[in-house]
A and B are shown apart, each in its own frame.
Chain A
């Protein structure tokens, strides 16, 4: 019996590894089907946007192990800056998006710098407090943000993308444009996670002291992770602003931060596609239950509690673990 090189090469890689290697194209495929699965395109775009926020948040929470309760600040800042750039300064679309993302990232850098020095529960509390400050500042700066009334007046009805004219008011065209941006962001996140940096943040999550002992600059890594997470959440915010053509003040409130946490957990923190599953499940649940009863919050809250107790890996995480266990 000879060991031929050919037979070794022919040994199939396990299915899970092959899927994981192609997670970006598979995710994009799944996302392109969303408008046909969900009852409305508007809901589908919401799933995209909130899914992206959750992906950004997951980078910090699921992969680096830091429970921030203030990510609404970056989501909201991206939205507001883009809205203001388009509405007040007539900025072209891509510039407005870039400003929004940059602003969110910058804010994340500052808040990260301030909060990384704290640990555990205190970290969560600091992020909560600082993001509430952002909320109150936005409330007070009403000549810029519209205050309680929200930001309006920057509706984008038409896009010119590389020669194509996209009717942004058409729900399907809008969906695929936003999906294009989401896909790009997903690819970016996947690259981060696959890089050595991605391994270091997971090491920090597992055992911070040990990572430090191995010589990694834990504080710097956390800060980079925080900033990257903020950048992605800000991008989601810019897309949100484009989608709804308004920026509501509650986008900055800690209830939104809490919603992001819930979605990430529901879907599966620490998994790549989990956050989208979480956003999908959460928004669909909310939408469907609202049709039967105004008391949808008790259903969503109870489901969340059950997940924390019994399915802490979330829907996708549990699914992945189950498949691996076989």
Chain B
């Protein structure tokens, strides 16, 4: 804001007009002078209060996850608003700079460079796809900028991509598969896997296989499908011939929606339980209650938690108030927890000094939406609860958004993460 009011410095101009005009009283002149001086002084006053804290927020507003992205923006803005309403951080207001990364890693890298170089952000929160998150990470770690990633991925925890400036607020496949398996696999259960052939799919499969071994279940077959496949009919006969008790569908987003729908079309649900690592609010909305009925999967957040967790109720109520009664979704909640945990740390650090904020984040114990959370030191992974949800049938739905029933909540514990040494990191 540039207050170029130099011509309004009161001075000679006003004096001369006063002489020729009886309408301008001395009071007006004084008022004008003080107003002018105040306007002039404002930039200095503003600077003395401290410049705004800018948080970059890349998110895929364009593309297949636009709905999730919009949820994330709303939740992130809520977090910023809550902090600003309390007076900001050390008297400084927080500003969220939302950018469209178009679900494209190259685009995300460019936006991140712009946020850092042009907009001079103090930190970045965001990213939905794993590729985007890794791209943002690469840019931020080279430049020493704090980054809180909210993309579900195992890769970000590993030593190759580790950065002391990066914190991972989201769940990872290892955690979700362990939690879901714990409540669905039993000794001797036969499990068949339908896996998307890309990094995230393989991570999910790996997590399930580990859990399978630990729980004494038996794998009866794995089929890898091309990432982005629309038609799963060619896999159904083979999957059926494996005669599994559980069909574990390891994919995400539209792939998952299509796979579940077509598995149901082929009558698979009559013979086996369908299990997925992550059950998604928006995909359930896209497909409808019938196909999803009875499917069990994991999640980071479900609004139904408000019945048992006070911070969930607080979050839901604040979200409802700001969004006309709507409830936050799973992915939306990441926008909130990612930004809010960062802002809490900044508050503790008293500002945006990078080293202080990192130290604050590493020590932070927070409970803002789903129970206690903290960041593990070696890999900066947020240790948090994992929900296991079952999709309700239409008749059981209490309201429009009552999609899921909470089967279980895996409590927050470092034991459900991979060990530091396994990740290649010092403890």
By size class, the interface of chain A is 20 to 34
**CB distance A149 to B199 under 8 Å?**
yes
1/0 contact trace for A282-326 toward B, CB 8 Å? 000000001000111100000000000000000000000000000
- Indicate whether B227 reaches chain A with its CB closer than 8 angstroms: yes
- Indicate whether B386 reaches chain A with its CB closer than 8 angstroms: no
- Indicate whether A232 reaches chain B with its CB closer than 8 angstroms: no
Residues of A within 8 A of B (CB): 39-43, 46, 139, 142, 147-150, 152-153, 155, 157, 169, 171, 240, 244-246, 248-251, 290, 294-297
- Indicate whether B363 reaches chain A with its CB closer than 8 angstroms: no
CB-nearest residue of chain A to B98: A291
Which chain B positions have C-beta within 8 A of A150? Answer: 105, 131, 134-135
CB-nearest residue of chain A to B112: A42
> How close is A103's CB to chain B, nearest CB, in angstroms?
19
> How close is B140's CB to chain A, nearest CB, in angstroms?
11
Instruction: With A42-B110, A139-B198, A148-B131 as known contacts, state yes or no: A294 contacts B61, CB within 8 Å.
Output: yes
Which chain B positions have C-beta within 8 A of A295? Answer: 62
Besides A39-B114, A149-B130, 18 more A-B contacts (Cβ < 8 Å) are: A40-B113, A42-B117, A139-B198, A148-B131, A149-B134, A149-B199, A150-B105, A150-B131, A157-B142, A169-B142, A245-B142, A246-B106, A246-B109, A246-B134, A290-B62, A290-B100, A290-B102, A294-B100
The distance in angstroms between the C-alpha atoms of A42 and B109, with both chains bound, is 9
Residues of B within 8 A of A (CB): 61-62, 66, 100, 102, 104-106, 109-110, 113-114, 117-118, 130-131, 134-135, 137-139, 142-143, 155, 160-161, 198-200, 227
> How close is B200's CB to chain A, nearest CB, in angstroms?
7
Which chain B positions have C-beta within 8 A of A149? Answer: 130-131, 134, 155, 199
**CB distance B142 to A147 under 8 Å?**
no
Instruction: With A149-B130, A244-B135 as known contacts, state yes or no: A250 contacts B198, CB within 8 Å.
Output: no
The distance in angstroms between the C-alpha atoms of A36 and B200, with both chains bound, is 41
The distance in angstroms between the C-alpha atoms of A294 and B200, with both chains bound, is 27
Which chain A positions have C-beta within 8 A of B117? Answer: 40-42, 171
> How close is A106's CB to chain B, nearest CB, in angstroms?
24
**CB distance A148 to B227 under 8 Å?**
yes
The distance in angstroms between the C-alpha atoms of A155 and B118, with both chains bound, is 20
The distance in angstroms between the C-alpha atoms of A198 and B240, with both chains bound, is 62
**CB distance A294 to B66 under 8 Å?**
yes
The distance in angstroms between the C-alpha atoms of A43 and B109, with both chains bound, is 11
The distance in angstroms between the C-alpha atoms of A248 and B199, with both chains bound, is 14
**12 A/B residue pairs, CB under 8 Å, sorted by A:** A39-B118, A41-B118, A42-B114, A43-B114, A142-B198, A148-B198, A150-B134, A245-B138, A245-B142, A248-B135, A250-B104, A297-B62
